[in-house]
Structure 1
């Protein structure tokens, strides 16, 4: 059920609330900029008045530009080319190296041992040289070197800590300590220093590590959960969002120094290159994520804008890595803030969210854009350096991914609930359809059972009819055969014509009895597939018997026979086998022109007894072989002949029951060849 839509006054109030949020964020950022100190470069006096344990070096720094990047410590010691700067070092993207100098004086009550904390943590090379107590400030050997920066593995630092720390030995009260720092980086040349006593350092370190562990831990959980959801549902939006969150995780892992715990081996060029690529890749992944979310909800022009945004985000780190020039660096920063604005406008405008949620998302986007905008302007050197902006940007980014992940999970759970409801409805519909189909099948089953019962009853009536006919015909046929035998015995010697006629009459009466037996067997064949093995017979005798029967019934039929089967035998239900071959002879008689011969051949081949009948048909056979063997089907050339279309079907059924086959082939000149194949009987052991 969709959420209720708010009224127009409440919509206006939400819009006003969103813009007020953005303006307040802008005022907060502007207020942070005003906190920068502008004191002249002078020695920093360290005192413990009021329990203060932290002193910023802003306004106490001197700067020397090394355009060649080759100056050494002994060359800059005591140089008059240093210039005083207000605030901290912020030279933007520069191809030069810079030397920074400052002095600190230990005041009353301040401990003799202190710590120098430097930031931000992203320069490629940062080297600190601190004067040792009791030595001359004009000698290079009086300074102890502390290598820092991203190119220096954390294990080689003086203190393996997320912060860039340098130990200071201040000496007696009133003594002055001089320090030099050299900074060179592909990223913006920025430096800010703070002197801390031990208690303040411990407090700030604990606070920093707790917040970073919280931010990075929650971000890592979001990355893993997004990946798990992606592998479960295979929706690309979760994959791209997880990559975007992973990019933020890696970026802040390096920028906030926490990589010293998770990747202490990271150094050389790996860390700077990762910092170069994370910004642009973040834009790429978020643009792809927005594309997946909006591809079914917005116009093609909007989708093309997202594709162009992803391409531009990919070009920024690529150009930075391949062409390390100071000209491309500002362009990358400007393009990044422009891409963020495009993504903000597209995402908030096109997302199908409740107006209140849209206002919340707009406020977070607006706040992030303002914070990122100030951060980029600082990186370009257009605004004074203020390291507090990094904390605000990180907090805004964290809230950003947290809110988006919450919306994604909510949408996922809502879609899952819709899927469950849809599945339940589908199951109910499927159950109803199944019940309906079951009832229909039950009706069809009852009808089928009735049909089968009727068929069995009909088959039983047919069988009884044939049995009755066979019984009724046996007596008169037996009388006829008896009288024929009497007449044969009474025939006069030397009379050759009369015995031949009587012999033909005797064979015809016997054939009538055989036909009646075949009719009964046909009825049995319609009822069962069982084969009763009655006996064995040689293939040649099997063929000769049926040929002689055909000649006795149809004396005018000219049959030419030939057998090459030798003594091979077949076995089975001999009555059914004889009926099959006799049907083929009958068909050859019916469909042959008068006086045309029928060729019958038999042979044994590959374990089968093969009998072929070839005759010339009076009419062409233009039908498929499979149709001719169908039950109750008669050929197009059989209209003038009596029959029910069951003969060829019976032939194939008999062959099938004996694991044989029956085929019918039409020749090119009008001839037809019928072939039956019957498995040969295994030879008996002697």
Structure 2
């Protein structure tokens, strides 16, 4: 029985509510039929149970191209019929015109009389709201005027809030008409919604919490990247920190939160800060991309990013200098194309296995999607809706967070490479220390051996002098043999002296200086020596130099020439002459040594200058494969070049040395060459000479 009574009471309440809704609709219909001012008006929005009602699809529009129409003009019957139905929200893109919007509200008893009209987006420049308060719509006293927009001081608004809010006092079941005039120098987009006080408080709290959290995260990330920059001095982190800061500045100005932070001056600086944030973001992200994708850039993409740097700078100056309307489409189109460029570069980074490449690709993909929708919305190509009103904030936040992770990954890999380089450097230091110890031991050994050889060599030389005195008269036919022996011994003594001197120079870290040397007498002396050592070999020597001089270290240069002469006589065909030509060519002295040999191969000429490399015709001769290598080291020490060429059955070695008046003395450390000389066997030059005696 009780259940039946409850059901009956519920049906009675439901019946009363249904009757009230029907009555409201009939009254509105009757009013629209009787009043000429409502000609063409849409059905009113019924405010009932829902705490929030979106007005998308319930508004009419009237375009004011003159930008001079007043409310009195708009409510005039001839203009009132000019309103057209607006599908969805207002979405005109960049436009100079003013647009009037009209909609009608009517509440039931379930909706509170006091409510809030919320207008968005919060970056609209000029918003004027006219709310019907009286029954006579033709009378000015029947309308309440409210000024909103980010060019209106916060003190002149009904309530300080990040959104544009207008208070409503709605009579029960009575239609209330509202006119809104909107105008912007940027994109002309507009949406509206009606909220109960409780829902508006919730909306405001959620908005402040979201916006504050967004700004806090972006600022913290910016500071972290700046700290990274201070730590490792990589400007990539600095550019990203400044880019994140520019994004936060832009968000400050377009989200409406600036009116809460700077209520006294927000209306004066909001447009400038928006341009600084947008232009600065474009400029900095372009510089950031140039540095981040340096290896992936093509000449075209590099020039395009530099162009975007210029566009970003012009965007910053557009509003202060008064050409924002002309600049805005250029900036938007540039940004649209930039999305494709960034996507392509991040894809190449993934393909090239760039550190953090996958995170860069995902981060730019998310931001590109958000900014792409936002710019299409600014151009009027995508309708304004609840789902995309904050898409740029969501996209930029995810982009900045993921980019931070990607840069952190890049930093981690950089540190790993640095640690690997440090370990390699430490290993190299150990190797160098080991080599230094081995070199010192070798130098001590060479010094000892050289010193010990001097005594027996002195005895041999003295004995040869005595034999020369005693046998010169009795055995004159042996004089030439004795002379050859004396020359060989003198050559060995020179080798020992050079070895001792090099050991001393290595220990004291000194460098041997070059001497100004006349080429003609020096070469004549060298030829005289080799003719005496190998009298059975014919040496044809021609020289066309007079006072030509070179800067030479004679010990080294003598060793190099002796090795070339020794190779020529050793590998020449029997009874074949050795031709030596010395002449000048420009700023160089050229020494050519030509001999006849059929054993060397053409493809061996470059290989013979390598250490321990011997030719295919060296099987029956003594040697270690160090001769030509040492010759090349010595000639390069004198800033010259040496080449070996095979032509038919002849081999030609060409030595080129710069003249003393045209060459700058080398500043390179000679210690490596000293160490190379000390590596050689003691018998390399001297004993070869002895073996020929």
TM-score normalised by the shorter chain: which range applies?
0.5 to 0.7
- State the partner residue of 1:125: 126
Question: After superposition, where does 1:102-251 map in structure 2 within 5 Å?
Answer: 102-132=103-133, 134=134, 136-171=136-171, 173-251=172-250
The 3-state SS of whatever aligns with 1:268 is: helix
Check 1:356–1:231 CA distance in 2 against 1; reply closer, same or farther (3 A cut). closer
1:56 aligns with 2:54: yes
TM-score of the two chains, using structure 1 as the length reference:
0.53
Which has the higher relative contact order, 1 or 2, with Cα contacts under 8 A spaced 6 or more apart?
1
Within 2, Cα distance between the matches of 1:89 and 1:296?
Answer: 45
Q: How does 1:442-591 map to 2 (within 5 A)?
A: none
Instruction: State the shift of 1:251 in Å.
Output: 1.8
CA distance in 2, matches of 1:356, 1:346: 14
Whole-angstrom distance in 1 between the partners of 2:156 and 2:232:
45
Question: What's the CA shift string for 1:56-99, capped at 9, x where partnerless?
Answer: 11222222222222223333234542413222222222111222
Give the superposition deviation at 1:368: 3.4
Cα deviation for residue 121 of structure 1 reads 0.9
Q: 1:435 to 1:328 in 2, by over 3 A?
A: closer
Deviation sequence 1:478-527 (CA, Å, 0-9, x none)? xxxxxxxxxxxxxxxxxxxxxxxxxxxxxxxxxxxxxxxxxxxxxxxxxx
SS in 1 for 2:390: helix
Q: Deviations over 1:286-329 (max 9, x none)?
A: 11001112225545454333223323343445456545475553
Would you say 1:398 and 2:404 are equivalent positions?
no
What is the Cα deviation at residue 194 of structure 1? 0.2
What is aligned with 2:7? none
Question: CA 1:377 to 1:411, structure 2 compared with 1: closer, same or farther past 3 Å?
Answer: closer
Distance in 2 separating the partners of 1:219 and 1:287: 19
The answer on whether the counterparts of 1:276 and 1:320 sit within 8 Å (CA) in structure 2 is yes
- Write the distance in 2 (CA, Å) between the matches of 1:427 and 1:248: 44
Unaligned ranges ≥5, structure 1: 1-38, 446-686
SS at match of 2:79: coil
- Partners of 1:283 and 1:340 within 8 A in 2: no
Report how far residue 268 of structure 1 moved. Answer: 3.5
Say yes or no: does 1:339 pair with 2:333: no
SS at match of 2:147: strand
CA distance in 2, matches of 1:299, 1:94: 37
CA distance in 2, matches of 1:396, 1:242: 17
1:308 aligned residue: 307
What displacement does 1:234 show?
2.1
Change (3 A) 1:421 1:153: farther
Distance in structure 1 (CA, Å) of the matches to 2:151 and 2:376: 25
Name the counterpart of 2:47: 46
Q: CA shift at 1:269, angstroms?
A: 4.0
Say yes or no: does 1:411 pair with 2:400.
Answer: no
Q: Aligned match of 1:65 in 55, 63, 66?
A: 63
User: SS where residue 182 of structure 1 aligns?
Assistant: strand
> 1:20 aligns to what?
none
The answer to whether the Cα contact below 8 Å between 1:128 and 1:146 also exists between their aligned partners in 2 is yes
1:406-453 per-position Cα deviation (integer Å, ceiling 9, x unaligned): 1111211221233234335435654776798799999999xxxxxxxx
What is the alpha-carbon distance in structure 1 between the residues aligned to residue 386 and residue 309 of structure 2?
Answer: 29
SS of 2:266's equivalent in the other structure is coil
SS in 2 for 1:388: coil
Rounded to whole Å, the distance in 2 between the matches of 1:360 and 1:420 is 24
- Answer whether contact 1:320 1:329 (CA < 8 A) is retained: no
Inter-partner Cα distance in structure 1 for 2:439 and 2:376: 77
Contact 1:115–1:195 (CA<8 Å) still a contact in 2?
Answer: yes
Q: TM-score, normalised by structure 2?
A: 0.53
**Structure-1 residue corresponding to 2:560:** none
